[in-house]
Every structure is written in C-alpha cells, then in structure tokens.
Amino acid sequence: MIGTMTLSDVSEYMPATMTGADVTFSRVNTDSRQLQAGDLFVALSGENFNGNRFVSRVAEQRAVAAIVSEAQDVPIPQLVVADTAAALGWLGHINRKRSRANVVAITGSQGKTSVKEMTGSILSQQFNILVTRGNLNNNIGAPMMLLELEQDHQQAIIELGANAGGEIAWTAKLVDPQIVLINNAAETHLEGFGSLAGVVQAKGEIIDSAASTHTVVLNADDPNIERWRERAGRRRCVTFALDAPADYRAVNLVMTADGARFDIESARGRIACFLPLPGRHNVANALAAAALSIESGATSASVCDGLARVAAVPGRLCPLSGINNSRLLDDSYNASPSSFRAAIDVLAVIRNGKDVRRVLVMGDMAELGALTVQAHRDVGSYARECGLDELWSTGACSELASQSFGAGGRHFEDRDALISHAAQALNESSVVLVKGSRSAGMDYVVQQLSSKETV
C-alpha cells in the first residue's frame, strides 16, 4: 500500500456510518487467520460465511478497525456499510489512484492468464512490476492486488475475469487502466452470460474503463473485433493477429519440439522470438503480450528476452513427465469448446517417435447451458478428425465425446477408474492431454498420472 488511509477515505465513495475514531492503517486484511496487529479488517460475507462473526476475534488480535455490514459490540472503530466487498473495492481504487505506475488491464475468455504472465515476463526485463497473482481476478481479488501497489512500482498488469455481465465494468472501474486488452471472446460461462453475444458485451466492458485518450488493444483474428472497435469510439485502437491484417503480426512461424520460433512484425520493425511453450494459440497469446508490452514502453530486447523466459503455467498446457515414461500435457485448469479445439490442435501435431500414441483424457465442460450436449459431441468428433488415437472420458457429459469419437473412445465411471486403466495402458510412446472444466477436477488425474518431474 502507498502511504496510509483512514476509514473516512472509504466513506467519500459510499454511504457509511462510522463508530469510534477515524483511525489510520497501512494494511488491509480479509482473513482473520492471517491478520496482524494494526491491520484493517474487512468483514466479507457470502452464501456460506459471514465475516461479521470474526470481528471480535480480530479485535483481540489488535486489528486497528473493521469494515462491517452490521455493527458489532467490540472496542475497535468500525465503518458500517451496506456492501463490504464494494468497500474493499474502493480501498483498492484509492491506492491505485495514488500510484504513478502504468496500469494495464487484461480480459478475454481464453488465454488471459497466459497473456498476463507473458506480459509480466517482458515488462520485468525493464521495470519494477506488479502482476496479478494466481486467479485473483474477480471483485475481491482485483482490489486486493491494487492494494499491493507500492510507490516504486512502474508497471501493473491486472487480470480481470467474470462469470456474468457487469462484473468487469465494476472491477475495471476500480483498476482505472491506461491500456486495456481483450484477448478474445468464446462460449464460456454461458449460464452467467446467456450467449456468446453476452460474453462479447461483457468483455467489452473493459473498454469503457479507459479514458478517451487511452489505448485499447484488440485481437484482429476475433470475429467480434468490429463490435469492440465501435465501442472504443475515439480511443486509440491497436491490433494484433496471426492471420488478419494487424498492427502486430507473427510471421515466419515455425513450431518445434520445444515451442515456437517466429518474428513479430510491426511498424517498429521485426523482433525475432522464441517461445518455450507448445501451440499456435500460445503464439497468439505471446503476440498479445508483446503488443501490450511495447505499447507500455518495452524495448525489442525486453520482448525477445521476456518471451524466451516464460514458464509454463500449471494447468495450462504445461508439459510434464508421466507415469511409465509417458508425456503429459496438463491443461486441467478449465475448458470450453474453443479451448478444447486449440488443445487438441497442439496434441495432434506432436511427434514423440514414429509410434506416438496420442490420447485425450477428457472431463466435463461446465456452464454451457443448451449447448452442453452438442459441444461435448463436437469435441469427440474433432479429436477424431485431427487423428488422435484414443479418447478417454469421465463425467456424464464427456461420455458423449467418447461415443462420438468412435473406435478408441472409452468412458470410465469415475476418475479413479480412468487412472487405474491409464496406469496399465500408458507407456513411453504415449502423449496424453488432460483437460476439463475446473469443476471436473481433472487436476487430480494429472497428479496421479504425473511422475512429478517437468519436461
């Protein structure tokens, strides 16, 4: 945090009632188990918890004050508000407004975490940076990251996710970025967004947070770019693409066993790059990160060095050594129809010797609404078209995929049954892609099939 704050700072942004002194604090905490003396405690509440119940405990732990939704009988100052999560948001915003850092915000249905990590790797070659940790990208995580901004930070890379419309509008307002990037829009979280059109609309909310003099970075390969460009109005738009004409393009692309080599072409010249990650979609993510970084002041050398030092993100096509000398691609973090196709494309071109055996291990895709049945069938059909050798499924919906795959498709009643089969069936010629939505718990499958050594 930059400097100190007072309880009254929050009351300038939302209706609040203060009890006790208007104390100062320099650290904010939402977890009573991690609270230190002198912290401000924000009592968050949800369906299964009520942070107000822990105020007495944090008072004993010498919290300096608490933000609550119901006044508590404790001997520390309190700020009573209707929505403690919103109060946390405003705390993050206050700290962000004190920062002189260049702040960029990233969203998209797929690849936003990879773009965030790649951007961080590039900008860290030149600048002192803050980058979103893990998946702290929602209405709670984003403010907590903003509260970590310090006076000496020169760049901040903030990831914004959403499960429904309006969420990015709120978090982007708090972030108040100078540059925003939309990586893409796809059929994810449809139960919250309703349709792909709802996803496109929601991702576009990040544009509204950028001032008219700020920059919007867009994927020219995404079919929705014109909707976002129109929404950007007079803001400066910068584009990137693998295929379409764009300000930043990847040319001379060569996929290798270790990753990809390509040149980034723009009005500033060409940058020869190596990316140690598999997949054409990762090249697209790298291109997005390069565009965002260059627009933030990165040099060509920083782009080259930063991309070369990118590490695989666990759960996102992360190469691992598997049991019985097999190879794994851990893509278990999440799944959607389009991300499944992208991952299958990666597996399809892998050559691990002439007797390579490519196996897709599939868990259910969640939140697809009316598209659920057809989407799972389509994954199986696409895997067959791409020449994969086998498809093993677990989960009620994924059985549709193994059925549409045909010969070589096999369904298992649960993850443990699949793991038992894999322990007998996999060998040194096997390359296994493990993927499914987070709710499918395919990370457990990865843990059981992994030899715990990175490739």
| C-beta separation of 289 from 307 below 8 A | yes
342 lies in the same domain as 446: yes
Quick one: 324 and 369 in the same domain?
yes
Q: How many CB atoms lie within 10 A of CB 230?
A: 10
Backbone angles phi, psi at 426, to 5 degrees: -80, 150
Q: What pLDDT sits at residue 355?
A: 79
pLDDT (0 to 100) of residue 455: 44
pLDDT at position 187: 79
**Which CATH number is 61's domain given?**
3.40.1390.10
Shared-domain flag, residues 139 and 257: yes
Q: Examine the pLDDT at 452 and tell me if it is beyond 70.
A: no
For the question of whether the overall pTM of this predicted structure is more than 0.85, the answer is: no
Sequence length of the chain is 455
Shared domain for 297 and 162, answered yes or no, is yes
Q: Is residue 430 part of a domain?
A: yes
Q: What is the pLDDT of residue 332?
A: 96
Helices and strands, number each (H, E), in the chain: 17, 23
Residue 90 domain flag: no
Q: What is the per-residue pLDDT across 294-337, written as a single tens digit (0 to 9) for each?
A: 999 999 999 999 999 998 878 988 889 999 999 999 999 999 99
For residues 152 and 260, state if they share a domain. Answer: yes
Domain that holds residue 49: 5-83
Tell me, rounded to whole angstroms, the distance of Cα 173 from its chain centroid: 18
pLDDT at 29 over 70: yes
Residues 150 and 285 in one domain: yes
**What's the average model confidence in pLDDT over 369-379?**
96
Cα angle: 270, vertex 271, 272; to 5 degrees: 120
- CATH number, position 400: 3.90.190.20
User: Is the model's pLDDT at 255 over the cut of 90?
Assistant: no
Does 272 lie in the same domain as 142?
Answer: yes
Q: Is residue 207 part of a domain?
A: yes
- On the question of pLDDT at 240 being above 90, the answer is yes
| Last-in-domain residue among 308, 329, 361 | 308
Q: What percent of the chain has pLDDT over 70?
A: 98
What domain count does the chain have? 3
Clarify whether residues 304 and 326 are in a common domain.
no
Under 8 Å CB-to-CB from 339, ≥6 apart: which residues? 110, 186, 188, 331, 435
Residue 454: what pLDDT? 44
pLDDT tens per residue, range 330-359: 999 999 998 999 899 989 988 655 678 999
Q: Look at residue 445 and tell me whether its pLDDT is greater than 60.
A: yes
Please check whether residue 72 lies inside any domain of the structure: yes
259 and 325 housed in the same domain: no
Asked whether the beta carbons of 80 and 70 are under 8 A apart, the reply is yes
User: Are residues 299 and 382 both part of a single domain?
Assistant: no
Q: Is residue 405 part of a domain?
A: yes
Evaluate whether residue 389 is within a structural domain.
yes
Tokens at residue 400, please?
Answer: 């549709």
Q: Are 202 and 238 in contact (CB under 8 A)?
A: no
335 and 400 in a single domain? The answer is yes
Last residue of a domain, one of 26, 53, 83: 83
Q: Is residue 91 part of a domain?
A: no
* Cα–Cα distance for residue pair 389/436, rounded to 1 Å: 19
Residue 88 lies in a domain: no
Q: Which of 343, 272, 340 shows the shortest CA–CA distance to 303?
A: 272
Q: Is the pLDDT reported for residue 161 higher than 60?
A: yes
Residue type, 226: E
Q: What is the mean pLDDT of the segment spanning 225-251?
A: 97
Q: Indicate whether 217 and 279 sit together in one domain.
A: yes
Dump pLDDT digits (tens) for 416-427: 999 999 999 999
pLDDT band at residue 257 using 50, 70 and 90 as cut-offs: low
Q: Assign residue 205 the CATH number of its domain.
A: 3.40.1190.10
At which of 261, 286, 308 does a domain end? 308
